[in-house]
Every structure is written in structure tokens, then in C-alpha cells.
Amino acid sequence: MKFPSPVSIQWVADFLGAELVGDKNGQASGINEIHKVEKGDLVFVDHPKYYDKCIQSEATFIIINKVVEPLPPGKALLVVEQPFEAYLKIVRHFRPFEPATKMISDSATVGKNTYIYPSAFIGHHVIIGDNCIIHPNTTILDHCIIGNNVIIQAGTVIGSDAFYYNSKKDRDSWYKKMDSCGRVVIEDDVEIGAGCTIDRGVSHDTRIGKGTKMDNMIHIGHDTVTGKNCLFAAQVGIAGVAAIGNGVIIWGQAGVSKTLSIGDNAVILAQTGVPSSLEGGKIYFGSPAEEASVKKRELVWVKRIPELWKKVMG
């Protein structure tokens, strides 16, 4: 999430009641979680396992529960007892909850020749481009952006909260919700089927690339980015922070795990499970996913096991 304008890191430290260590003259441009941080961002870390990863990341400012040295030049630590709670305090300050009072918010912007069916909900600060069709019972939640020539079928939800929790087993509540302050950005010429859900980024953008077509009942997780002209069949599920290349085809009921990439023009056959990154330009099948030609040969041999067993046992 980018702030409306850069904020003095000293102001942030005072706001959080944090000890400021390092560069005290910086300006924070936004707040992000570790997978999406950029220069000028704030990030939080509350476990020694991830101290170095956060400090060496692109983030300029680190909300942390311990002073860690050495600190790279130009960076600053904001030391607090509970970094996660400090993160939430910043998110709620810059992206506060706004109750809805009508089906289409007055702060939403709707382009020319766009038709919104009755019973569709359009949240605060949503931007919808020209020549779109938004079907009944579609929900487009706050701050999401819809490009031109987009079709969204009935019952789809754009911008639902990320399935993202800060979990620790040494406290009464194992799972604490990490407030979602990111957006969903749908580029031009995208078509989205009925009953789909596209989660907003935790603190950045979930993005659907230009020309992508999605069937019914598809789930896209937080901060996932798809390339241009992808094709997703029914009941595909893609977890958070996946990077899907251009021209990727994923057939029905395939599942894609988190924080991985799929290269351009890959084809994922139906019911395939993708646990790790895949090269582009190949066809994949099975769980775990392998090149389809290899997996099909394996299946032929599996079917022959009873016959081979009889021969071995005589």
C-alpha cells in the first residue's frame, strides 16, 4: 500500500511509540509485506529467523522487536514490542474501514458505456473503465481497479480479504488476521466467469493481465500476478504470491501453490497439482506436476505392475 504522500519516518516512529535506530531523516512511501517490498517501504518482522531477510530486502524501514546490527546505510529500524500490532496500526490509519451506505459508492468512478446490473455492489474508491459489463450480484470492493472492456459474470467477488494470518503457537490465539490493504487490478479486455473470487493483495496488488479469460468458480489468491492472455478453466485454484506468465493455460480443477512462478505459454492439464515453479513452453500433468509425456509413460508402467508382479513371483 502506498501512502497518499511520503511520510517522515520520525512521524511514523512517534505514531508507533517506537525507538528509531539508523537513518532518522528518511521518508516512507508505503507499507508492504516481505514478498512485495520496494525501496521506501516499511516492513515488519517479529521472528529472529526472518530478521536478516527483512533487513537485507528492498525495504528501507523495518518495524522490529530488537535492535539488529549492522544496519545497511540509508535504512532505519523502528523498535517496538509487538511489530505485528504496529503494522496493523499503520494500515488502519491510512486505510481505515469505511461503512457502505449504498450499492454504488459516491467515490467510485465508472467509465463511459459501462453497464452495471441491478444488485451489483461497487465499493469506495473503485475505478471501472469504459465499455464494461458488471453482472448481477457481483461485488467489487474498495480501491479495486477495473480496466476497459471487462466482463464480470454474476456472483463474482473482486477484492475479498487475503487469506493471510500471523500465526504463533505460544499465545492463546494462534491465528491473528493480517488486515488486507492491497488492491485487485483487472487490466483491459479481461473476462471473468460466474462465482469467482479474486483476493486483494495483503499490502500490494493482485493483478490479472490484459486479455485473460477465466471460467466459473475460480479462486485467485492474494498478490498473485497473471500475465497477458491467460486462460483458466473452471475450479482452478491459485494460491497467494504466484507469478503466472503470459499465455499460460490452466485446465479445470488444477491447483497452484503459493510463491512460485509458471513460465510463459505453459499448459497445466486438468487436476494437476503444482507445488513448485515450472518452466514455460511445456505441457504438465499429475501431482506433483511433471511434463505430461513423462507422467503418461509412468502411468502406463504403473498399470503393468500387477502383470510384472506375477512374472516375478512365478
- Hey, which residues are catalytic here? 222
8 Å CB contact between 217 and 239: no
Q: Quick one: CA dihedral 94, 97, 101, 102, positive or negative?
A: positive
Residue count (the chain): 314
8 Å CB contact between 158 and 144: yes
What whole-number distance in Å separates Cα of residue 257 and Cα of residue 119?
Answer: 34
Write b or e for each residue in 222-259: b if 16 or more Cβ atoms lie within 10 A of its Cβ, otherwise e. bbbbbbbbbbbbbbbbbbbbbebbbbbbbbbebbbbee
The H-assigned helical ranges of the chain are 9-16, 51-55, 83-94, 292-303, 305-313
DSSP letter for each residue of 128-197: E-SS-EE-TT-EE-TT-EE-SS-EE-TT-EEEEPP--EEE-SSSS-SEEE-----EEEE-TT-EE-TT-E
The gap between the terminal CA atoms of the chain, to the nearest Å, is 68
What whole-number distance in Å separates Cα of residue 244 and Cα of residue 209?
Answer: 9
8 Å CB contact between 241 and 259: yes
Q: How many of the other CB atoms lie within 10 Å of CB of 313?
A: 6
The grid cell for 79 is 523498535
Assign residue 286 a region (left: φ > 0; alpha: ψ between -120 and 50; beta: otherwise). left
Percentages helix, strand, coil for the chain (3-state, rounded to 5) are: 15, 30, 55
